Amino acid sequence: MEISVKPLKHVDIVSVTGRIDSATAPEFDNALKGLLERGRKKIVLDFTKLDYMSSAGLRAMLSALKAAKNGGGNLVLVNVNERVRDTLILVGFQSLFLQFNDIVDAVDSI
C-alpha cells in the first residue's frame, strides 16, 4: 500500500494505492489520525488506485469520519471501484460516506 497526501488550502486529498488489509490498515489509520491531529478536518479519500479494503481499513475510515465531523469537517470518497463499493454496501457504510466520481466535485462538497 502507498499513501500520498496532497494538501490544498482547506482540504487534504489522500490517495491510496494497493490494498488496505490487516497488515497495512495501521499505516492508513495513522495517516488519517495525523491529519486530524494537525487540525485538517476536511479529507477526500481518493481510491482511484485502491484494489481492496478490509474491515480494518473500514474501521479506520469510520473513526476518521467521526473525528472529522466532530471537528466541523467531513471525510468523503472519490473514485471508489466496484469491489470496494460492494464492501461498503455489504457492511452498510454506503450511507455514511458521500461518494463522488470526480475529484473536483468531492473537494467542492466539503
Residue 110 has pLDDT above 90, yes or no: no
% of residues, the chain, pLDDT over 70: 100
- Tell me yes or no: is domain 2-109 CATH 1.10.3720.10: no
Provide the β-strand partners of residue 46: 15, 78
* pTM metric for this prediction: 0.94
Q: What is the per-residue DSSP string for 33-72?
A: HHHHHTT--EEEEEEEEEEEE-HHHHHHHHHHHHHHHHTT
* Mean pLDDT value across residues 46-55: 95
Average pLDDT, the chain: 95
Residue for cell digits 488550502?
Answer: 9
Highest mean pLDDT among 43-47, 53-57, 83-87: 43-47
Q: Can you tell me the distance from the alpha carbon of 27 to that of 88, in angstroms, rounded to the nearest whole number?
A: 20
Every domain of the chain and the residues it spans:
2-109
% of residues, the chain, pLDDT over 90: 98
Distances in Å between the alpha carbon of 19 and those of 57, 72, 74? 9, 29, 23
